Structure 1
Amino acid sequence: MNTTANIILHKANTRGYANHGWLESYHTFSFAGYQNPERTHFGVLRVLNDDRVSGGMGFGNHPHDNMEIISIPLEGDLQHQDSMGNTAVIRKGDIQIMSAGTGISHSEYNKNKDELAKFLQIWIFPNKRNVDPRYDQLTLNLEDRHNRLQQVLSPNADDEGVWIHQDAWFHLGTFDQDFGTTYSLKKEGNGVYAFVLKGSFQIGETTLDTRDGLGITGADSISIKALTEGAEILLMEVPMQLPRI
């Protein structure tokens, strides 16, 4: 990591929290009843919610527009329906994307009545407004992220993973203890937000534990080392300038 890089550390226990009975949600950035003027976004990364949905419960039909909405299931099964006629189930190993564009409505429910569903809900500001709404999901090969950063999202429809209307790249990795690697940024001026799903990592000189987040700007690459066996991480490379559209 460049010596001139800037970092911002968000420890897991400093996130916003909401308990709606059927839903427990941790908010890295301001969302709904959690409003923190120092945590409104990281570049075009607007929302990073860590959600736990009780059995048989979920989000009723509700609208969105002009946002790229990504869901990454961590445990259990989520039943999806939307105004474009899509009906699908997503589970761990899948990634789901909705380009809300001119407007879309959808619902997400825990398909199972006897177990929790856990997933990340991520919102990205798009670089184009009022696009045609779009839905996609993809089942990923979990073996492809063992001691490797598996690309799961990009700006390119013909690239690995799903694609969105933004110059953003997401990678997931699961690492053996003491395994290290380097992530090189794809686009000059972008930043990286690292979010630890499980275990502990060292990124540069910073130690991160489960559900800690670290924003990095001013770097062209970052070094990553797993400190625990089976440690899992999500890297989100995003533009730091909000789109002027």
Structure 2
Amino acid sequence: MRRIERNDERGTSDLGWLLSRFSYSFAEYENSSRMGFGALRVVNDDTIAPQKGFPLHHHEQMEIVTIMLEGTLTHHDTLGNTKDLKEGEVQTMTAGTGVSHGEWNNDKTTPAKLLQVWIYPKERSLVPRYTQMKFDETGRHNIFQILACGEHRDGMLFVHQDVTLARVLIEGGRSASYTLANPMHGVFVFVVSGKVEVGTDMLSSRDSMEVTQEEKLTFNAQERSDVIVIEVSMG
């Protein structure tokens, strides 16, 4: 089964310094039919204005993944971390028993663009932790590059849930396939840029699609396309 949500169908918030598009209910955007997808709770497409950002704020009982799409954010938290998160890097944070953090765009002219993903953890009351990793773009040319998953593996980040986050950059006229780690899982597809055909469905920039009861997805790029998939437990 498939459910497509077009870019202009998402929830929207514009605070002046922060422009957000919500795939699922978040903050003032409330939609009873869009409360999450299996273990996936939040997918926010955020743009933060230059010299603006999120002040220190608190989280508990959530796995938070930030995929940096453009620009740079400076992250700081109550675990003692202060780090720059740059384009092409991914951050994972286990909120667990509680952590406060903030992100700031220190650049004077360039907006920071990111995808913020919240995932329910397998267990509650985990020890808070923070990690980040840089992923080379060449590692995802026409093949899916795993960014994070629920197993400890070299070259990717760990998330406390049975999930896989992967990204691919497909040249126009080429295709790439994603095979699910578990056929009982669902897949959230997000097109960062470009235009891809998935079977009989066409997805354009910032469109998304929820998929269940399929074991493999093949993406045919109509033009150079950047695609993120989030495979999640539906239990």
Shorter-chain TM-score tier = over 0.9
| Correspondent of 2:132 among 129, 134, 137 | 137
Indicate conservation of the 8 Å contact 1:74/1:118, yes or no: yes
| Correspondent of 1:233 among 222, 227, 230 | 227
Indicate conservation of the 8 Å contact 1:154/1:160, yes or no: no
1:201 matched residue in structure 2: 196
| 1:43 partnered with 2:38 | yes
- Return the offset for 1:160: 3.5
The 5 Å alignment of 1:83-98 reads 83-98=78-93
Q: Distance in 1 between matches of 2:189 and 2:90?
A: 17
Q: Distance in 2 between matches of 1:115 and 1:158?
A: 34
The 5 Å alignment of 1:46-61 reads 46-61=41-56
- Return the offset for 1:109: 0.6
The 5 Å alignment of 1:128-207 reads 128-207=123-202
Indicate conservation of the 8 Å contact 1:80/1:107, yes or no: yes
| Correspondent of 1:122 among 117, 122, 126 | 117
Q: Distance in 2 between matches of 1:36 and 1:30?
A: 6
Letter in 1 for 2:88: G
Q: Distance in 2 between matches of 1:11 and 1:50?
A: 13
Q: Decide which moves more: 129-138 or 176-185.
A: 176-185
Q: Structure 1, unaligned stretches of length 5 or more?
A: 1-5
- Return the offset for 1:214: 0.5
Letter in 2 for 1:239: S
Letter in 2 for 1:170: L
Indicate conservation of the 8 Å contact 2:170/2:176, yes or no: no
Q: Distance in 1 between matches of 2:109 and 2:200?
A: 42
| Correspondent of 2:23 among 23, 28, 33 | 28
- Return the offset for 1:182: 1.8
Q: Distance in 2 between matches of 1:66 and 1:98?
A: 11
- Work out the percentage of aligned pairs sharing the same amino acid: 36
- Return the offset for 1:220: 1.1
- TM-score norm. by structure 2 comes to 0.98
Deviation digits for residues 169-201 of structure 1 (CA, Å, limit 9, x no counterpart): 011111111211221110231011100000100
Q: Distance in 2 between matches of 1:112 and 1:176?
A: 31
- Return the offset for 1:78: 0.2
Q: Distance in 2 between matches of 1:63 and 1:98?
A: 12
**What do you get for the CA RMSD once the two structures are aligned?**
0.8
Deviation digits for residues 214-238 of structure 1 (CA, Å, limit 9, x no counterpart): 000011111111111x210001000
Indicate conservation of the 8 Å contact 1:153/1:164, yes or no: yes
Q: Structure 2, unaligned stretches of length 5 or more?
A: none
Determine helix, strand or coil for the equivalent of 1:105: strand
Determine helix, strand or coil for the equivalent of 1:222: strand
Letter in 1 for 2:231: E
Structure 1: 4+ residue segments shifted above 2 A: none
Q: Distance in 2 between matches of 1:180 and 1:51?
A: 28
1:67 matched residue in structure 2: 62
Q: Distance in 1 between matches of 2:177 and 2:192?
A: 18
Letter in 2 for 1:235: V
| 1:14 partnered with 2:41 | no
Q: Distance in 1 between matches of 2:86 and 2:196?
A: 25
Q: Distance in 1 between matches of 2:11 and 2:57?
A: 22
- Return the offset for 1:159: 4.0
